[in-house]
């Protein structure tokens, strides 16, 4: 049987084209790679190359023919041992439509649904701690978490700028070089894109890197690897290649360091499936969540806050304290209004709740702790009880975490709301340097109090 | 005064096979080279044809013309070694022993593909064969490969990573970030620049300073480099042995610049108007890696015409089978949409 040469599609969008001219004549012998004809696509003139070997037996569509549909037979090639007699019965067939297009229409994929938050079904319950506690700073808690996990698993290593000899730009990695040596506590050049990519490669191969960014502002250099390489590869490889890596460092506004060094990246990373995003407030949570992050087989973005590093909290006396990723915490129970927040703003929300109590408003404060996967159940349970919601974040409101929570509550608890959700967020400007302006740009307890009263219709 | 690290060795600018073959190049090896290069070429031609039929969508970057590079390098590697490359990756996957059926089925986006149809032409992986992608972002594979080399060293495996990159990718900043770290930490990585003269429509002369000597790009980091005739599979293998041995023995990275050429457009939808037909034709006639090997085999009487015909037939059968599999393998089940996002904690 002669081989049919079909009108090819030479761009993702081409459905038909012009067969401009034949470069071979009937009777010519052809071999793979020979240019047979020129066609004009919707974008350009392209060459059609032979894939098969033989003799060009018959041209079915002459040169200079317009509107030849993709997949129409345009010529026949006779293979070894075939002759003109084999061409009998062939004439220009009716154009065939492009199979791919049909498949798209027929495919039985379910209609896209809006799934709020990632599809993580099961979150292990949080363990209760009945033992003793020690007052520990967030800084020490983070260090202890890394040290304990490095003792536990030889594949865990820490890499970043100034993490080893200098003991960390914010002294998070104090003592780690001494204990684990230069093989596992690695000072990198100032090379965020490079070392983030290198970390992802090591994770692909089964190591468990902790990549410290001096601050998350500099991770913008590396965001391509965080999202395109770390977050997406498991999916793109059909589950074969994972990235068990932690990217950690201070996030958000420090103090008077100006716009380029003061930004909250929670919503940037939380946007992306494939990542987990954690942002703790207390030292116990910082420790327990960092340990969970290091053990997690997925890429985890661990957003710390510089202003919290020196704050002390009770931390359980054990080297196996973990806090599950994906579980929010009610840090102050209340009945009149729900305040949802995370990281440094938890403190401001607790202050606000204290003030509100004096005025007879009982606020329930939820510390998200994990942004993705978001613990919607804890939020919804609270809103169904209080019927009012204020979200608080340091980052900008536009497409922020508060916006996402508002949408979820609107979709899943609309009938429970007695007032529109209020978002307290950073002012919609790059962060100013001047002390007074910086204060004005950031959410304060007073904003939270005002918003809480508003949703309670109190003044 | 402290001495500086030894300057990079500049291996001979052009490495070509002399008429006497090196002693490790057996007839059987030559035949393997021929089979593998032919498999890549026929596979790519088939892929191009299937793209034309609408069976393959999106971007599809063919490797035709560059076959000797990956086949020669692969022959100098051991099983524990790893490789990764850009989106022009079909040849690399076939050369490292991945199943043509699974590769073609990924091109058609079917469940039998290496990524269950969820990756496509540019995103395929095989941990089993040490193939770590398939990367769509120009240059991004370079630090990732450097990281895999880091893991090889960390785990004391004596394995080497080969990170392939294009001449265009070589201008990305992250490549130099990687060179620096790889040399600083003496990582077992070989960077193979596949210099096919073009990054899409931009020639190396228009994009790269000192464009005739890209293998010098590691000089500042003390990384030795060599330029190799990438259309000569024997020369590629001999050069690769030096570079791979260097990396494996703990001396750090090596840069190989492979002078090669792609016959087809950048991707299927590139009419390649930035170069003349004569230019392409000249390379095909004078430097084609498969034709050159054919001539060598006949001259050395390694195989006769009939034997070669048989290989052609066998290769064609493998490719046809992969094309059939890629069309009959079902589309991924709709439930696959939600799988493989996260690993179970
Ligand atoms: C970061 C990035 N920028 C641009 C592109 C678009 N792009 C894809 S391939 C390519 C050219 C790369 O050429 P080269 O590195 O020489 O590799 P070759 O295609 O020749 O194999 C460009 C610009 C991309 N994929 N990623
Ligand atoms: Mg190129």
pLDDT tens track for A404-459: 999 999 999 999 999 999 999 999 999 999 889 999 999 999 999 999 999 999 98
Query: Is-contact B168 B88, C-beta < 8 A?
Result: no
Q: Catalytic annotation on A47?
A: no
**From residue A27, how far is each of A30, A57, A59, A268, A359 by CA, in Å?**
9, 6, 10, 62, 97
Q: What is the pLDDT along chain B (345 residues), one digit of tens a residue?
A: 343 433 454 444 455 545 678 999 999 999 999 999 999 999 999 999 999 999 999 999 999 999 999 999 999 999 999 999 999 999 999 999 999 999 999 999 999 999 999 999 999 999 999 999 999 999 999 999 999 999 999 999 999 999 999 999 999 999 999 999 999 999 999 999 999 999 999 999 999 999 999 999 999 999 999 999 999 999 999 999 999 999 999 999 999 999 999 999 999 888 888 999 999 999 999 999 999 999 999 999 999 999 999 999 999 999 999 999 999 999 999 999 999 999 998
Domain with CATH 2.40.50.100 in chain A: 3-99
Domain with CATH 3.40.50.970 in chain A: 133-316
Label residue A90 exposed, middle or buried (CB < 10 Å: 0-12, 13-18, 19+): middle
- Choose the catalytic residue: A140, A148, A149, A192: A192
Tell me, what's the pLDDT at B19? 62
Give, in words, the CATH class of B27-265+314-328.
alpha beta
Any CB–CB contact under 8 A between B57 and chain A? yes
Q: Residue ranges of the domains in chain B? A: 27-265+314-328
Query: Is-contact B313 A207, C-beta < 8 A?
Result: no
* Architecture of the domain defined by A329-455: 3-Layer(aba) Sandwich (3.40)
Q: What are phi and psi of B134, to 5 degrees?
A: 65, 75
d(CA B180, CA B217): 11
Mean pLDDT of A111-119: 47
d(CA B290, CA A234): 36
* Bridge partner residues of B227 (DSSP): B257
Tell me, what's the pLDDT at A99? 41
Q: For residue A232, which of A202, A272, A292, A198 has the smallest C-alpha distance?
A: A272
User: Among the atoms of ligand 1, which is closest to the Cα of residue B61?
Assistant: 19
* B169 CB within 6 A, ligand 1: yes
Tell me, what's the pLDDT at A104? 37
HSE on the CB side for A346, CA within 13 Å?
23
Query: Is-contact A368 A327, C-beta < 8 A?
Result: no
Supply the DSSP symbol for A159: E
Extract the tokens encoding A364.
């329930």
Residue of A nearest to B109 (CA): A100
Mean pLDDT of A20-37: 90
pTM: 0.87
d(CA A155, CA A148): 13
**Atom 2 of ligand 1: nearest residue by CA position:** B138
Q: At what angle do helices B305-328 and B289-299 cross, to 10 degrees?
A: 140
Tell me, what's the pLDDT at B203? 95
Tell me, what's the pLDDT at B3? 39
Extract the tokens encoding B258.
């492979």
d(CA A383, CA A335): 9
CATH topology of domain A3-99: OB fold (Dihydrolipoamide Acetyltransferase, E2P) (2.40.50)
pLDDT digits (tens, 9 = 90+) for A46-70: 888 888 889 999 999 999 999 999 8
Average pLDDT over all residues of chain A: 91
Q: Is B336 strand, coil or helix? A: helix
Tell me, what's the pLDDT at B270? 87
Tell me, what's the pLDDT at B18? 52
* Architecture of the domain defined by A133-316: 3-Layer(aba) Sandwich (3.40)
Q: For residue A52, which of B155, B45, B299, B29 has the smallest C-alpha distance?
A: B45
ipTM score of the complex?
0.85
d(CA A397, CA A424): 8
Q: Which of B51, B263, B341 sits opposite A118 (nearest CB)?
A: B341
Tell me, what's the pLDDT at A91? 64
d(CA A171, CA B254): 36
d(CA B95, CA A62): 40
Tell me, what's the pLDDT at A127? 79
Q: For residue A365, which of A331, A397, A400 has the smallest C-alpha distance?
A: A331
- Listed by number, the residues of chain A in 214-253 with a beta carbon closer than 8 Å to a beta carbon of chain B are 224-225, 228-229, 233-242, 244
């Amino acid at each position: 049987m002669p081989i049919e040469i079909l009108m090819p599609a030479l761009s993702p969008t081409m459905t038909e084209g012009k067969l401009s001219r034949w470069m071979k004549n009937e009777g010519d012998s052809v071999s793979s790679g020979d240019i047979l004809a020129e066609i004009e696509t919707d974008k350009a003139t392209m060459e059609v190359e032979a894939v098969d070997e033989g003799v060009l037996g018959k041209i079915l569509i002459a040169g200079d023919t317009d509107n030849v549909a993709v997949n129409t037979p345009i010529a026949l090639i006779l293979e070894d041992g075939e002759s003109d007699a084999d061409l009998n019965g062939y004439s220009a067939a009716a154009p065939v439509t492009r199979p791919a297009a049909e498949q798209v229409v027929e495919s039985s994929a379910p209609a896209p649904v809006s799934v709020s938050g990632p599809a993580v079904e099961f979150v292990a319950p949080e363990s209760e701690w009945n033992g003793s506690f020690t007052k520990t700073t967030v800084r020490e808690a983070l260090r202890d978490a890394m040290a304990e996990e490095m003792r536990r698993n030889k594949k865990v290593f820490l890499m970043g700028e100034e993490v080893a000899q200098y003991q960390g730009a914010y002294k998070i990695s104090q003592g780690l070089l001494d204990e684990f040596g230069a093989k596992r506590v690695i000072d990198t050049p100032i090379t965020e894109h490079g070392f983030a990519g290198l970390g992802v490669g090591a994770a692909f191969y089964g190591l468990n890197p902790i990549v410290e960014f001096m601050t998350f502002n500099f991770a913008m250099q590396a965001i391509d690897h965080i999202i395109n390489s770390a977050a997406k590869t498991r999916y793109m490889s059909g589950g074969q290649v994972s990235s068990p890596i932690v990217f950690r460092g201070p996030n958000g506004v420090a103090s008077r360091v100006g716009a380029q060094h003061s930004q909250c990246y929670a919503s940037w990373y939380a946007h992306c499936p494939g990542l987990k995003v954690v942002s703790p407030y207390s030292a116990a949570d910082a420790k327990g969540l960092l340990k969970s992050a290091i053990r997690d087989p997925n890429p985890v973005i661990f957003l710390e806050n510089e202003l919290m590093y020196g704050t002390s909290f009770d931390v359980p006396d054990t080297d196996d304290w973990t806090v599950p990723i994906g579980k929010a915490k009610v840090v102050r129970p209340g009945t009149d209004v729900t305040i949802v927040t995370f990281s440094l703003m938890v403190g401001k929300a607790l202050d606000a709740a204290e003030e509100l109590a004096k005025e007879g408003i009982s606020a329930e404060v939820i510390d998200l702790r994990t942004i993705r996967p978001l613990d919607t159940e804890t939020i919804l349970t609270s809103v169904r009880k209080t019927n009012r919601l204020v979200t608080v974040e340091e980052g900008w409101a536009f497409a922020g975490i508060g916006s996402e929570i508002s949408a979820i509550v609107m979709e899943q608890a609309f009938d429970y709301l007695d007032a529109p959700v209020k978002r307290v967020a950073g002012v919609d400007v790059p962060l100013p340097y001047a002390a007074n302006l910086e204060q004005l740009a950031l959410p304060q307890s007073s904003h939270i109090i005002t918003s809480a009263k508003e949703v309670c219709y109190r003044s | 005064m402290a001495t500086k690290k030894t300057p990079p060795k500049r291996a001979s600018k052009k490495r070509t096979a002399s008429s006497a073959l090196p002693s490790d190049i057996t007839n059987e090896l030559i035949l393997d080279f021929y089979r593998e290069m032919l498999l890549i070429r026929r596979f790519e031609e088939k892929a191009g044809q299937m793209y034309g039929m609408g069976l393959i969508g999106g971007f599809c970057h063919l490797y035709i013309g560059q076959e000797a590079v990956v086949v020669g390098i692969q022959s100098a590697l051991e099983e524990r070694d790893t490789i990764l490359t850009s989106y022009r990756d079909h040849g690399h996957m076939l050369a490292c022993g991945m199943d043509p059926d699974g590769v073609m089925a990924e091109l058609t986006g079917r469940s039998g593909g290496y990524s269950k149809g969820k990756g496509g032409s540019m995103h395929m992986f095989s941990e089993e064969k040490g193939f770590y992608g398939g990367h769509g972002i120009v240059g991004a594979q370079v630090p990732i490969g450097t990281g895999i080399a880091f893991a090889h060293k960390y785990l004391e495996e004596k394995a080497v990573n080969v990170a392939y990159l294009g001449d265009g990718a070589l201008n990305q900043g992250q490549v130099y970030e990687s060179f620096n770290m790889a040399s600083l930490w003496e990582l077992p990585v070989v960077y193979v620049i596949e210099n096919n003269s073009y990054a899409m429509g931009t020639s190396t002369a228009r994009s790269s300073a000192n464009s005739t000597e890209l293998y010098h790009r590691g000089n500042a980091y003390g990384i030795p480099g060599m330029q190799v005739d990438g259309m000569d599979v024997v020369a590629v293998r001999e050069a690769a042995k030096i570079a791979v041995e260097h990396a494996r023995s703990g001396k750090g990275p090596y840069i190989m610049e492979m002078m090669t050429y792609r016959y087809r457009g950048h991707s299927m939808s590139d009419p390649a108007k930035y170069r003349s037909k004569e230019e392409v034709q000249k390379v095909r006639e004078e430097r084609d890696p498969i034709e050159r090997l054919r001539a060598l085999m006949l001259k050395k009487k390694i195989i006769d015409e009939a034997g070669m015909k048989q290989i052609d037939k066998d290769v064609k059968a493998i490719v046809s089978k992969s094309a059939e599999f890629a069309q009959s393998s079902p589309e991924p089940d709709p439930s696959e949409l939600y799988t493989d996002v996260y690993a179970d904690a």
